[in-house]
Amino acid sequence: MINELVSAEEYAESILNPLRKFIAAKKILHTWRSLVIDREASKEREESIKNKILNKILPIKVDHDIVNKNNKKICFKDHLFSKSKGGGIKEEPLPLEDGVHKSKTIFTNMLYSWLDLYDNGMQFFSIPHIRDNYVNDTTSIHWNYYLKELLILLNKKGYILLWGSKKKDYINKRHYKVIHSLQNHWNLFNLRKENEKLKKELNYNFIQKRSYT
């Protein structure tokens, strides 16, 4: 019985001893790290105190002259210059609107939508988000010109990179008919708008004449 108790104690000690050593080692390591951190912090504090004293005694060296802001003003011109690979310099007006609001960006985004929804025909221009975001924008007056240029470029180059605010993608000659259809529908849409406007004006004039008679 005694032998069994002794062997049980020895077994327990064999398990606990490594654990005690591990805990003791962790405490020593933690104490050593704290000592090193305190020592470094003490050095930094001493250095900081020395610098404060020296800054009060020694003059500050100025390595550069302070710019007199009253003499020069930073101005932005209303034109920018770009240089081609051949060395030629081209002058262009400086864009004053954000890239998202540029007429070509709006046109490109509209064109992306048309490529997805062209089956709608002329009803495409009456779709709420198309009407509100693109058609009603003042830059839509340039669309006819852009469409003509686009079709000419497709015939010449065979492909064009479109780069709007949504994505960038290539269109090629297989899109020619789809874009030509957009041009026709856009012209027809504008003609119908003009007709409606004329009808309203005629009705208004007719009512005015009747009121006078």
Is the residue at 22 inside a domain?
no
Six token digits for residue 178: 């789809």
Question: Which neighbouring-strand residues pair with 161?
Answer: 170
pTM, full prediction? 0.51
Q: Assign 58 a pLDDT band (cuts: 50, 70, 90).
A: low
Is the residue at 143 inside a domain?
yes
pLDDT at 147 over 90: yes
Instruction: Please say whether the beta carbons of 131 and 125 come within 8 A.
Output: yes
Is the residue at 173 inside a domain?
yes
What's the pLDDT at 2? 47
Number of domains in the chain: 1
Is the residue at 91 inside a domain?
no
Q: Which helix (H) or strand (E) holds 112?
A: helix 103-117
Is the residue at 203 inside a domain?
yes
pLDDT at 196 over 60: yes
Is the residue at 80 inside a domain?
no
Is 91 in a helix, a strand, or coil?
Answer: strand
Is the residue at 77 inside a domain?
no
Question: Which neighbouring-strand residues pair with 169?
Answer: 162
Contact residues for 115 (Cβ-Cβ < 8 A; gap 6+)? 171, 175, 178
Q: Assign 12 a pLDDT band (cuts: 50, 70, 90).
A: low
Q: Give CA–CA dist 138/116, Å, rounded.
A: 23
What's the pLDDT at 5? 47
Domain that holds residue 192: 97-212
Q: Give CA–CA dist 142/190, Å, rounded.
A: 13
Is the residue at 55 inside a domain?
no
CA 51 to chain centre: 45
pLDDT greater at residue 193 or residue 204:
193
Instruction: Please say whether the beta carbons of 166 and 178 come within 8 A.
Output: no
Q: Kindly report the number of other CB atoms within 10 A of residue 4's CB atom.
A: 8
Residue found under tokens 């003042």: 138
pLDDT at 3 over 80: no
Q: Assign 43 a pLDDT band (cuts: 50, 70, 90).
A: confident
- Residue 17 has phi, psi (to 5 degrees) of -55, -50
